[in-house]
A and B are shown apart, each in its own frame.
Chain A
């Protein structure tokens, strides 16, 4: 069943340098029991999108008029963007939606014990007593594979290693039994052997708790191993969506293709790496028309720099925003090498 619906999310920031577009007409859905991967490089707007779901963006954020975010709970539908008071916002911040971050040191207060923070969160979001909250916290810490869970309640964040901190953060995020878990680069700062453990843990928990995960990362191979569906973002727009097999094995958009080609692959060590030409434009200099056209090997002047492509269907569930996929695309040789 659908848990989260994002429609036409449009977000700009008012800064000294002008109005910067961070998210441009992004729409997606999240269903329970599913992992949706949001992939993008820097400036893609993926983190900002995630924060919008919890209404966590700074005050200079300006949402576009048609932006809608709906959270479907058992009994009612919550319009996230219209929540104002902190009591209303409680639902999306730690209640039905929980978030884990890249840098676990940043989400644990350094001077308070882990147990105190976990219990505090439970007290805010549920009607448990302090004792019950502590018991639940120990259970969660144990569930995520932290040894001596009861003892850990009294430890501080800096006393744990990186991997354990990340697990503790997952425990804290899950203790309120959220419907949606947003994971913003949760394993990027971890060593690869620890990353493997944490990813396994997350997949187990999805199955056990029946929740949905919005997995944000720049690492396509992590997505390949963890996600069910993928959305590829670039400069605030979604360029391709589909199941993980569709997008990774048969990518349709030139950006996705370029991204996959530029990755070093262990099973193809002799193939040269082909980077995507050019640099990611700064958000102050957003290209007109298709945001990717400045680096695209298939770009057609007159078309790609003028109009913005919508998401064209390729297969069932697989869409990509590229004019080259439409039937009206003139038949040109790919002689344009950037």
Chain B
């Protein structure tokens, strides 16, 4: 089990979210005999998200990245381990949080959904959709106040203020995503999780939304956790990237380091699998063999060993430790 050995107290003052040995397991159904299968979506992860950073989380299917994002927001149950949320006002242990504190936490951490078509209620006007968090959390007292806040955040998200009385069916995918973003940011959260927020959009619109997120982060100074399967998108917008595989963290580094100097074999394979826009570099990269194993029956030891070209006996029996290679660059591999 890859564990975080806090030899030094590296839970620094500047971390917004820190997780220790976090696990999120789901039990599937019931079985007549024996134990029911357990999906080990997130398996003993430890990491830190620095305050004010644009933290990217990448992985393929089964990596557990979406589950991790949800667990941080307390939308998925934490099976074991600890998540700490810390900002300049409060500190919460999310694995063990009281109801009142949870209510306050909801103000500070929000989610931008993936599917712009499912995330907005078709029966509410855009103004009402954006205003809903304010009303539920009781942040504003009068309708006028609410309207002001709504207009403020809507114009920051570059939405036409006249369109606020329209219904979602009047908008395109990109515009709906902006409404989604406005709704997530209206209560001024310090920590925002963007779960595949551009995956469902057309390519020419993706760039627009990414630029919007960057400008918002500059203005509002919050911390973003950007979850995506697309390394290219993450590369452009995030300052730190963490790579997940089957519920464990395999590598984490500042973006430039990760892309210029990947250490983990999986990261290397992931990078080489990305098709290049240059037609002249065809067929040069090393391709990864095999299928992604199921998170119900993950491989023993290092979870990547079934597909790794460097795998040895040690990898089968012993899970690698999470080690820091250089400044901010950590990896979990026996060979790094």
A264 near B276 (CB under 8 angstroms)?
no
A275 near B275 (CB under 8 angstroms)?
no
* A193-B60, A193-B273, A260-B277 known; A275+B287 contact, CB < 8 A: no
Mark contacts of B11-32 with chain A using CB atoms, 8 A cut-off: 1 yes-contact digit, 0 otherwise.
0000000000000000000000
User: Closest Cβ of chain A: how far from B111's Cβ, in Å?
Assistant: 23
Mark contacts of A218-235 with chain B using CB atoms, 8 A cut-off: 1 yes-contact digit, 0 otherwise.
111110111000000000
Tell whether A276 is near chain B: CB-to-CB under 8 Å. yes
* A263-B232, A264-B232, A264-B236 known; A280+B208 contact, CB < 8 A: no
Residues of B within 8 A of A161 (CB): 291-292
Mark contacts of B177-219 with chain A using CB atoms, 8 A cut-off: 1 yes-contact digit, 0 otherwise.
0000000000000000000000000111111101100000000
Those of A269-283 within 8 Å (CB) of chain B: 269, 272-276, 279-280, 282
29 inter-chain pairs at a CB distance below 8 angstroms, sorted by A residue, are A161-B292, A163-B291, A191-B61, A191-B229, A191-B292, A192-B230, A192-B231, A192-B273, A193-B270, A194-B60, A195-B275, A196-B287, A199-B275, A219-B275, A220-B277, A224-B278, A245-B280, A263-B203, A263-B232, A264-B207, A264-B210, A264-B236, A264-B237, A266-B231, A266-B271, A269-B259, A273-B211, A275-B205, A280-B172
**Ranked 4 nearest A-B pairs via Cβ:** A275-B207, A191-B60, A262-B207, A275-B208
Tell whether B274 is near chain A: CB-to-CB under 8 Å. yes
Residues of A within 8 A of B202 (CB): 41-42, 218, 280
A163, A276, A279: the one within 8 Å of B172 (CB): A279
Mark contacts of B216-242 with chain A using CB atoms, 8 A cut-off: 1 yes-contact digit, 0 otherwise.
000000000000011111011100000
Q: How large, as a class, is the contact surface on chain B?
A: 35 or more
Tell whether B288 is near chain A: CB-to-CB under 8 Å. yes
Chain B residue nearest to A189 in the complex (CB): B61
* A225-B275, A259-B203, A279-B205 known; A265+B232 contact, CB < 8 A: yes
User: Closest Cβ of chain A: how far from B305's Cβ, in Å?
Assistant: 15
B273 near A196 (CB under 8 angstroms)?
yes
| Inter-chain pairs besides A191-B292, A264-B207, A279-B174, 7 sampled, C-beta below 8 Å | A193-B273, A244-B279, A258-B204, A265-B232, A266-B232, A273-B211, A279-B205
